[in-house]
Amino acid sequence: MLSGPIERASQLIQRVNPYFNHFAILAITAPLFLSVSITMSVQAQDAAKPPVAAKRPKTLESHGHQRVDDYYWLRDRESPEVVKLLEDENAYRESVMAKTVPLREKLVTELRDRIQQDDESAPYPNRGYLWYSRTKDGQQYAIHYRKKLGADGRTVVGEEELVLDENKLAEGHEFCEVADLQISANGQFVAWPADFVGRRMFDIQIRDMSTGKMFAETIPATTGNMFFAEDDKHLFYTRQDPETLRFDRLYCHRLGTNPDSDRLVYFEEDEEFNLFLMPTKSRKYIQCISMQTLMTEVRLIDTSKPEAEPVVFLPREADHEYGLDHLDDTFWIVTNWQAPNNRVMQCDKPGVDKSLWKEVLAHDTNVLVEDIELLKDWVVVVERADGLSRLRYRAKGDNQWKFIDFGEPCYSTMLAATVDSNTNQLRYSFSSLKTPRSIIDHDLKTGAKTVVKQDPVLGGFDSKNYVTQRIWATAKDGVKVPISVVYHKDTPLDGTAPLMLYAYGSYGINMEDEFIPSVYNLVNRGFVWGIAHIRGGQEMGRHWYDDGKLLNKKNTFTDFVACTERLVELKLADPKRVFAQGGSAGGLLMGAVANLAPNLYRGIISEVPFVDVVTTMLDDSIPLTTSEYDEWGNPNEEEYYRYMLSYSPYDNVERKAYPNILVITGFHDSQVQYWEPAKWVAKLRDYKTDNNLLLMDVEMNAGHGGSSGRYDRYREIAKMQAFLLMLSGIEK
């Protein structure tokens, strides 16, 4: 199953990555509105018969209650019968979707035609070099480069050097993901972790840039989370348990030695915690963060003394979460101590009791503090108010806070990698549902803004042709839930437009109002596209998360239904062409609403869905389960068992009509095991009383994130969009 701390920590780690500027999928931009009529009947019997999984009942008992699982046997990954069933599912899906092949090819062409195929990322100065990456026409992956900078840290004085060509790295592999690149203090060594299976187990390789040669050793089976010490001799990295996949061990590798002799620096014994690494801005420390849903503990590794034992900054305490950074001999802490929405505090050394910390930014019941950025003369706070992220800043020693104005009703902003602290330039990204993402350098002293890079959208895209709105729905218990939508200005808002509504709603992870170029394949065909900011995220503050987890989890599902009904009520959706989509924990959401309100949706796309909640959470041998108890509850306690059982999609499949459903999974998924969606599909096939489509797409060479290559991903997107367009009666 998926791990919330892993999802949240990956967002933080991404911010310090100089390759933060990912290449987006750009969609078509020319308006295309078709008159449609839903006269076509898309029925499963029109194609080959679907696979039928054998029933092999297994009785599961907890708290005196028995459940019979007919498809428990699908957990056997090594079984040829299981593999054949999954392959048969793929063949059946393709037979049903055969009529959409021309449309899918058109969608792929449109995606490619609107992408600037030869593109370059925003460059980042780091360790005396300017680092950047490129994509080239026809190539799946990025190529990374650098140029030497002069003594001022800004002027380029060297020629372009090739660092890593991911396309060459991927040769001979059907899957290839490079998690991150890390650079030694002297800029001489570059390390990268690569996963060739999709199970998020990365092998680390190291290159000496002064000679161009690779180190002889490869560090196998890591999490991909790693950082160099400042002595240019040691690399810290984490590993996961090979069975549970919990990130539980921190190692130190000395360059040029056999990884078998690497020193185990720390082992996290508590099965509910995972380990993550993060450097401080001062580069004096690497943080080893033990993270659980409701608790944090940070150990500090002195990067100038890599062989010394880590020092605990503040011991873990129940319900205390904190994050920190360090610059100019001061620790800055974001903490929820006596502050549910977090506050910012300071201290001068590790081990100081939190009662002695100095408050910098007080708690606000209406504003959630999310992150901080430290520069030599400035402190920047990332926070969220009324569901939107915002940036506030002030000069150190000044109590006057200022805000950056973004000027749109629905938008997303986040910190990018401002690696050098000795600057007035704050780097951040900005986008909205209709504004392509820009990387911006903002001079905090003068207020001047410089757009370093804006993602190009070709084909005559003009944001003035689109409208974004923030809409509020009333939940079942009277709570107001925000919805963000985008549509073409010529789309009729009279109840005739198809709607696609997306949501996640778990782990306190927010769904940002950011530009998603592929969405315009639908928007330009007359769709209204929206995000439901349901409880379970933190868009409206910490209480938004607390009210959407554990024994409040059902609020997530009823919120989504309320958002859908509100958009139909406002005539932003054709009630006969309403679609929903979510992935991972959002896939659980899709399964729950399919049971809860099947007649509301024409179709549902459920990606890597966590749908077998009770069985998974009862099995601590399944990867990452034990770290999830504070999110979903521990079903070994009867109260949580009964509550989970009341909403678990797999356990609540009934003999009734269901919407058209497309289920997507990866055979090597390390977070939601493939058998959850496979079992769900098998049971739905047995129980559902309708003739609607039930299709499953099993990527046999990928994991939780789908295909690794960008062109392969285009085809996955086109496949999903063709499913929606087919059901909408839009054939071109």
Catalytic residues: 584, 669, 704
**Chain centroid to CA 520:** 20
Q: Are 37 and 729 in contact (CB under 8 A)?
A: yes
Instruction: Round to whole Å and give the CA distance between 535 and 555.
Output: 7
Look at residues 509, 555, 501 and name the one whose alpha carbon lies nearest to residue 531: 501
Measure Cα distances from 621 to 243, 244, 245, 704 in Å: 7, 6, 10, 19
Phi, psi of 139 (to 5 degrees): -105, 140
Instruction: Round to whole Å and give the CA distance between 676 and 189.
Output: 42
Helix runs in 542-670, H state only: 542-546, 554-569, 585-596, 613-618, 629-632, 638-647
Encoding tokens for residue 713?
A: 């991903």
Q: Are 349 and 312 in contact (CB under 8 A)?
A: no
* DSSP calls for 225-285: -EEE-TTSSEEEEEEE-TTT--EEEEEEEETTS-GGG-EEEEE---TT-EEEEEE-TTSSE
**Beta carbons within 10 angstroms of residue 87's beta carbon:** 13
* Residue 113 host element (H or E): helix 101-113
Q: Is 150 exposed, middle or buried (0-12, 13-18, 19+ CB in 10 A)?
A: exposed
Burial per residue of 549-573, b for 16 or more beta-carbon CB atoms within 10 angstroms, e otherwise: bbeebbbbbbbbbbbbbbbbebebb
Phi, psi of 717 (to 5 degrees): -65, -45
- Whose tokens are 């996290």? That residue is 268
Q: Are 143 and 135 in contact (CB under 8 A)?
A: yes
| 295-302, strands of its sheet edge to edge | 274-279, 285-292, 295-302, 311-314
Instruction: Round to whole Å and give the CA distance between 146 and 129.
Output: 6
Query: Left, alpha or beta for 535 (phi > 0: left; psi -120 to 50: alpha)?
Result: beta
- Whose tokens are 């805000």? That residue is 403
Query: What angle (nearest 5°) sits at the alpha carbon of residue 177, between those of residues 171 and 181?
Result: 105
Q: Is 38 exposed, middle or buried (0-12, 13-18, 19+ CB in 10 A)?
A: middle
Instruction: Round to whole Å and give the CA distance between 727 and 463.
Output: 28
HSE value, Cβ hemisphere, 13 Å, CA-based, for 112: 17
Phi, psi of 256 (to 5 degrees): 90, 5
Q: Are 83 and 74 in contact (CB under 8 A)?
A: no
* Residue 665 host element (H or E): strand 660-666
